[in-house]
Copies of this chain bind each other. A is one copy, B any other.
Amino acid sequence: MSLITDRENLDFLLFDVLFADDLFLTDAFGHFDREAVIQILDTAQAIAEDHFLPFAAEADAEEPWVSDGKAVVPESTANALHAYADAGFFALPFPEAQGGLQAPWVLYMAVVGLFNAANLPVTNYAMLTIAAANLLLVHGSPDLQARFLAPMLEGRWFGTMCLSEPQAGSSLADIRMVAEQGDDGTYRLRGSKMWISGGEQEISENIVHMVLAKIPGGPKGAKGISLFLVPKYRLDDAGHPADRNDITLVGLNHKMGQRGTTNCLLSFGDVGECEGYLIGEPHRGLEYMFHMMNEARIGVGNGAVASAHAAYLYAVDYARMRLQGRPLDRRNPAEPQVPLIEHTDIKRLLMDQKAAAEGGMSLNLYCATLVDRLVTVKDPKVRKSTLGRLELLTPVAKSWPSEHCLEANKWAIQVLGGYGYSSDYPVERLYRDNRLNHIHEGAFGIQALDLLRRKIGGDQGVAVTALVQDMCATIEDAMEITELASGAGRLHNSVIQLDGAIETLLRCRDVNRQLANATLFLDGFGTIVVGWLWLRQAMVATKALNEDGRSDSERMFLAAKQRTGCYFLKYKLAEASAQIALCCDLDTTVLDAPSDMF
């Protein structure tokens, strides 16, 4: 069995639950069909298993180091990324006009999910490059695009996102990096950037930094931030990397996980010669960044899901193989031991992981289909509501897996016991890798404010009401299905409760009180949304189970979907319900806590 993917599950989600085939009927993605998608996934799986997975432990153990001002990574990292480039995957989600494959975003997420499951820290370099290229494609001038885009899509030049500074993480309004325009129209940047993933490496021929900075004289705070393209090597007239730009690697951060990705403190303009090019208009940098936020945050969720899924697959494999103990009702020591997987508590641990990983994956891919619908849908009203849905679910797609898939990793370790805690097995590494996802691209609490204030408060509940209606429609259908009626009933109770909580929260005029339990709300809301997607999975599975002509293994797969859905709707919704109830109270126990009490 594969230790990075369950392709039957992936096909089920893409084609049976999310109807990816519909995309192939559209203008934008008509050049794809199911066969092509499967072929691309086959190729991705093969490269991920051959070039990424075998070196994941090495990338973790041999942390990047600094030598002569350069960041050095194991050769296997470069080899993996070259294989990724050779297969054309850097160009996957880009328009054909730019030399891309113009694949739907959902396919890109499915592909990246395979690589993330195999070796997330190495895959990061590719994802960051694609994100930077996307920014350049949407907001960069034709001239900048002409010079920088093609080598990025070929995977010869990598990209980075330079947002945080040592003193400004969550509070981007407080960045200090300065960009002053020179006589030639280009800018000179000066300042430090912190936590820059892929900020230095010797793998790619050039690095294209996307840098937030302030042009002197602009507005204060977030409204005075501009976006710049700053290359590691300036280009010569032929467009080749030439002399080195004035960017210094000050140091590498040592991290708990994701150690295969260099993480840098960079200094720009130490000698006043750091050349950068404005992207779009001055002072609109944060707005541009936020344009890409949905995709970036869904990408973080993808990593969290993949880490959990890979650990789940490993734990299942281990639990089948490892003999330990006897059933509770047959404990005769003269009898042979049974595989771990025969113990109910081990099944519970696996069920919980499956529920989180496959539930998170359904959320991730569902959100990716919303990104695609923004491309394919013409009707402006539908477009608007699709965008509303995507924006509403983005903080969920980022945070829910960061929390629940991390917990799944915790339980994968538990299945392996002492072996799970040992670095000879991958599950502890996946747990460490996953812990970052709650932090980067907007921390948990930031996502919570985004959801409640901007996404729900911002349109006075329009998008969330539409979602609630969709959930109710699914529930109504599911009520007709005997096996799912009680799970659907539970989801219905949760949705009613959620609806009431939203009304209460929107009615609250005291912003501090409204947002005091925003994080609890986000988490509970996320569980309800994933519960809805699990109900959809269970419905598809149950209908298929009632069809003739399914093989035994297909029936087992479908029955597993049905049972896991029921598990989620019973066990996980119960937690969410407790959280949402607390939000309805507008409780101020924490809000009113004096900071001196700690």
Contact = CB atoms under 8 A, between A and B. Distances in A.
A192 interface: no
Interface in A544-598: 556, 559-560, 563-564, 566-567, 570-571, 574-575, 577-579, 581-582, 587, 589-591, 593-598
Contacts of A449: 328, 345
B516 A344 contact: yes
A565 to B, nearest CB: 10
Given A424-B254, A563-B597, A414 B444 contact: yes
Nearest to A588: B344
A410 B435 contact: yes
A253 interface: yes
Contacts of A349: 445
A550 B174 CA distance: 42
Contacts of A421: 255-257, 435-436, 439
A418 interface: yes
A582 B571 CA distance: 7
Contacts of A567: 589-590
Interface in A242-278: 253-257
A596 B316 CA distance: 10
Nearest to A444: B414
A321 to B, nearest CB: 12
A173 B331 CA distance: 10
Given A333-B173, A589-B563, A590-B344, A598 B418 contact: no
Contacts of A410: 406, 435
A515 interface: yes
Interface string A514-548: 01111100000000000000000000000000000
Given A347-B595, A589-B566, A597-B559, A171 B325 contact: yes
A122 to B, nearest CB: 18
Interface stretch (A31-39, A334-342, A382-390, A496-504): A334-342
A351 interface: yes
A121 interface: no
A38 B530 CA distance: 52
A200 interface: no
Nearest to A343: B445
A556 B595 CA distance: 10
A391 interface: no
Contacts of A422: 253-256
A417 interface: yes
Interface stretch (A162-170, A288-296, A302-310): A162-170
Interface residues of A, number: 102
Given A333-B220, A423-B256, A438 B414 contact: yes
A211 B431 CA distance: 33
A207 interface: no
Contact of A575 (B222, B448, B578): B578
A254 B425 CA distance: 10
Number of identical protomers: 2
Contacts of A559: 594, 597
B344 A595 contact: no
A420 interface: yes
Contact of A418 (B164, B222, B563): B164
Interface string A333-370: 11001010111111111110010000000000000000
Interface string A198-224: 000000000000000000000011100
Nearest to A581: B574
Nearest to A591: B344
Given A169-B324, A414-B438, A421-B435, A345 B518 contact: yes
Interface string A33-55: 00000000000000000000000
A333 B593 contact: no
A156 interface: no
Given A167-B323, A574-B582, A345 B448 contact: yes
A195 interface: yes
Given A324-B169, A519-B348, A590-B567, A440 B418 contact: yes
A428 interface: yes
Contacts of A431: 256, 435
Given A316-B598, A432-B256, A515 B342 contact: no
A473 interface: no
B417 A443 contact: yes
Contacts of A560: 597-598
Contacts of A333: 173-174, 220-222
A473 B554 CA distance: 56
Contacts of A435: 410, 413, 421, 428, 431
Contacts of A413: 256, 435, 439
A581 B320 CA distance: 31
Given A320-B595, A570-B582, 12 more contacts: A171-B324, A174-B325, A221-B333, A343-B445, A345-B449, A351-B590, A414-B443, A418-B439, A556-B596, A563-B589, A563-B593, A567-B590
14 contacts: A164-B418, A174-B325, A220-B333, A222-B333, A329-B511, A342-B595, A345-B445, A347-B591, A348-B516, A348-B517, A351-B593, A414-B443, A571-B589, A574-B582
Nearest 6 pairs between A and B by C-beta? A221-B333, A345-B445, A560-B597, A171-B325, A574-B578, A256-B428
